[in-house]
Structure 1
Amino acid sequence: MKLCIIGAGASGLCAIKNAINYGFEDITAYEQANEIGGTWVYTDEIGKDKIGLEIHSSMYQGLQTNLPKKIMHYPDFPFPEQEKSYITAEEVLRYYQSYADTFNLRKFIKFEHHVVRVRPLSKNNAWEVIVKDLKSGEYNLVEYDAVLVCNGHYNSPLIPFYEGQDLFEGKQMHSHDYRNAQPFKNEPVLIIGAGPSGRDAVTDIQYVASNVTWSHHMEKLSLTKFRDNVICKPDVSKITKDGAIFVDGSYQQFSVIIYCTGYRYTFPFLSVDCGLTAVNNCVEPLYKHCINIKYPTMAIIGLPNFICPNQMFDLQVKFCLEFISGKRKLPNKEEMIEDLENVKRIQLVDRELPRKKFHHLGVGYHESYYESLAKIANIRAD
């Protein structure tokens, strides 16, 4: 079988390694960048690169992991022993490089290759993949038996709409383009969002900005103590030409807005024929958050969040390869759709999650998800 893997970041690398273990001999992974690591590869560049493609990485200087390393590694490849639990982005990237070198994965990767389009070929249950060689500019059309989509989900900024947004006369940007605090020296800054990037941005920028207005709706923040120039505000109600009005009626002025408001799941290379939609960060129809129910030889790896990433990537890949390889048989489409409807009931009705958090697992749910994959495919959930 010919297997196409899109991306050579954390999920793509373990897809290559596991595909080798499953006996796939014709494996090609396409990576847009010139090295492995995906979002963990730092670059000073923002916006678009020299050939007009959107910069993929959201990495910023000084980032440290918000998960301890003991739950970040692949099941069969622990991090090097050291005292500290929370490590730098550079150390994480070196880990992925070591993983690729240890298992000799680079020979399966075509670097600086951009996947333009993927569409199903119903005549023989194959996939047509159009790829652009970014060095030569040439386009190639290749057929594959199966496709694993491992393109990550920290590269397409989600910026919420606010009344008056277009009237603001200062600078507006998303944390995707944040690299360090220096551009905001002596500026009054509004930071919207209290996720990991929002907290890190506040922590860094407070030392150089004249003041930082931090808009969020978190009831409890971390124990981090911030400087006196950090002003916490509730959600933004309206943006004006030089500031914002908040839902409590208060008003604050600033010259910069940084949206730390998350990312959208996007798959611009998938044709409509693939049968998948990604509306408000809910990707469907997928069996077990990964297998395309319409075309089960395609899978999306890495959608669930609030999980142990590399362990989940590894388990999802093994789960999918059990069926793609023909080793096991999937339930029929009606049964997979019934399972999806049950997941919708749990996520959207029982847990009362908004649609945008459909793939949100978290404590008590990611464990049962792992167990479900392991049981169905008869594999270990390490």
Structure 2
Amino acid sequence: MDMASSSLQRLAMMPVQVSRSSRNVAVIGAGAAGLVAARELRREGHKVVVYEQGQKVGGTWIYDPNAESDPLGLDPSRAIVQSSLYDSLRTNLPREVMGFRDYPFVAKEGKGRDPRRFPGHREVFLYLEDFARDFEILEFVRFETEVLHVGMEEGKWIVKSRKRAGADGDDPLIDSDEVYDGVVICNGHFTEPRIAEIPGIDSWPGKQMHSHNYRVPDPFRDQVVVLIGSSSSGADISRDIARVAKEVHIAVRSITNETIGKQPGYENIWLHSMIKGAHGDGTVVFQDGSSVLPDVVLHCTGYKYHFPFLDTHDIVTVDDNRVGPLYKHVFPPLLAPWLSFIGLPWKVIPLPMFEFQSKWVAGVLSGRIVLPLPKEMMEDVENFYSKLEAAGWPKRYTHNMADYQFEYNDWLATECGCSVSEEWRKQMYEATGRSKQARPETYRDLWEDQNLISQANEDFPQYKLR
């Protein structure tokens, strides 16, 4: 190798020094994604305003005992309840795995705190409140402020919002139009229900509801319930209801003949293949040929991505629950870096991923991290879609990252120049999944990964507020 080639090689290996720019950025939503986005944007030197239509930070982790007037959540005129939490919900991941990487989710003493390794939902809410307070994010949050419209005009983003002048519901509304360099969408995706399509359901005389409006099992006492779905919430809710219901019949897409029928350990839970149809005489027939006469059909069938305030002139669309086109699930190539989305992927450990995505967005907006050209980003998106199609993956699973979340996180970490996911976190996530599969009733209270807990606790003291 000659001296010129050697010098060029060394030059190529040196980090590129890019002057940083401070941007004026709007963050939509003060849930977990919005809070960590605000922190990372501020760390990078940006000016931040967080819009939150509720009275607290925490997003979907704020428990609301009220349900919507339309139990299916389809009526556009309904008063929307943002949270989908049910009263008995405990995390299905251990706290060591769940927390932001540099703000460990450790047990704390105090009134109302839940020290369990798999705590109830209120403990997660309190953790997010602690995070917002310790990183001084609350002063940047505009509470009780609904975002009505987000759109671009003359190269800038205009955020139109409406805020109540006081706590009283009768207080006058104040409308505002404000200009930003960039907008980060963090409004979550657990509010707009997806409903299963059931042939004949319009003539079926029983009651239907979506799990978004499920809170406690009492209304199902002595009833026969058909529950659609096998997600974590569906599994939890079916057991919760079975404590008081006469019968619970679970309909799922993926099933084997060996698992059909009454479930071991339960006297009143049955597993079925998907519903074939519903009839005017009140019966619901399953594809396996069995039928029941239920009082309620409960849809535990997930949610739609929904951005009613966002106007991109169809540059970004939601098609069968695919938000796109998005480069790496975050940036629309034609609007990057001025519009971004945090928190779209699902079947993941959410908070650490939000943190990686937020670091990336903040660094790109400042100019410290450089994105590919729009054409190159669009080619990457199209290649990704082609791979999904070739694998037979439906559009609605575009943001399902169950098989590659750590690969994705580590890619983001490398882009941001920070350390990749800890090995104990990956192993603990996998161990929890195996334990949940083997012991669905007790995995939250009995575990066999004490060595990984020790590794996590050795790591945690190195983190300090900064």
What's the TM-score once normalised by structure 1's chain length? Answer: 0.93
Q: Distance in 2 between matches of 1:19 and 1:225?
A: 50
**Alignment correspondent of 2:65:** 44
**Once the 2 structures are TM-superposed, how far is the Cα of residue 22 of structure 1 from its aligned partner?**
0.6
**Alignment correspondent of 1:290:** 330
**Any idea what SS the aligned residue of 1:42 has?**
coil
**Once the 2 structures are TM-superposed, how far is the Cα of residue 199 of structure 1 from its aligned partner?**
0.8
Q: Distance in 1 between matches of 2:69 and 2:183?
A: 27
Select which of 32, 41, 45 maps to 1:23: 45
Compared CA separation, residues 345 and 60, structure 1 to 2 (3 A): same
**Alignment correspondent of 1:374:** 413
**Alignment correspondent of 1:131:** 161
Give the conservation status (yes or no) of the 8 Å contact 1:64–1:86. yes
Give the conservation status (yes or no) of the 8 Å contact 1:210–1:229. yes
**Once the 2 structures are TM-superposed, how far is the Cα of residue 274 of structure 1 from its aligned partner?**
6.1
Give the conservation status (yes or no) of the 8 Å contact 1:274–1:295. no
**How well do the aligned residues superpose, as a CA RMSD in angstroms?**
1.9
**Once the 2 structures are TM-superposed, how far is the Cα of residue 275 of structure 1 from its aligned partner?**
1.4
Trace 1:212-231 onto structure 2 (pairs within 5 A): 212-219=248-255, 226-231=265-270
Q: Distance in 2 between matches of 1:67 and 1:177?
A: 23
Select which of 87, 90, 103 maps to 1:61: 87
1:334 to 2:363 alignment = no
Give the conservation status (yes or no) of the 8 Å contact 1:315–1:381. no
Select which of 226, 236, 240 maps to 2:279: 240
**Alignment correspondent of 1:348:** 389
Q: Distance in 1 between matches of 2:384 and 2:316?
A: 17
Select which of 344, 349, 364 maps to 1:323: 364
Larger radius of gyration: 2
Gaps of 5+ in 1: none
Trace 1:273-312 onto structure 2 (pairs within 5 A): 273=313, 275-296=315-336, 297-312=338-353
Gaps of 5+ in 2: 1-22, 71-76, 109-114, 166-171, 422-466
Compared CA separation, residues 225 and 7, structure 1 to 2 (3 A): farther
1:182 to 2:218 alignment = yes
**Alignment correspondent of 1:33:** 54
**Once the 2 structures are TM-superposed, how far is the Cα of residue 226 of structure 1 from its aligned partner?**
4.6
Count of equivalent residues: 374
Q: Distance in 1 between matches of 2:157 and 2:264?
A: 53
**Any idea what SS the aligned residue of 1:161 has?**
coil
Compared CA separation, residues 348 and 71, structure 1 to 2 (3 A): farther
Compared CA separation, residues 80 and 372, structure 1 to 2 (3 A): closer
**Once the 2 structures are TM-superposed, how far is the Cα of residue 168 of structure 1 from its aligned partner?**
1.8
Give the conservation status (yes or no) of the 8 Å contact 2:255–2:273. no
**Any idea what SS the aligned residue of 1:287 has?**
coil
**Once the 2 structures are TM-superposed, how far is the Cα of residue 269 of structure 1 from its aligned partner?**
0.7
- Whichever residue aligns with residue 231 of structure 1, its letter is W
Percent of aligned positions that are identical: 33
**Once the 2 structures are TM-superposed, how far is the Cα of residue 120 of structure 1 from its aligned partner?**
1.1
**Alignment correspondent of 1:250:** 290
Trace 1:105-184 onto structure 2 (pairs within 5 A): 105-121=137-153, 123=154, 125-135=155-165, 136-184=172-220
Give the conservation status (yes or no) of the 8 Å contact 1:163–1:237. yes
Compared CA separation, residues 78 and 102, structure 1 to 2 (3 A): same
What's the TM-score once normalised by structure 2's chain length? Answer: 0.77
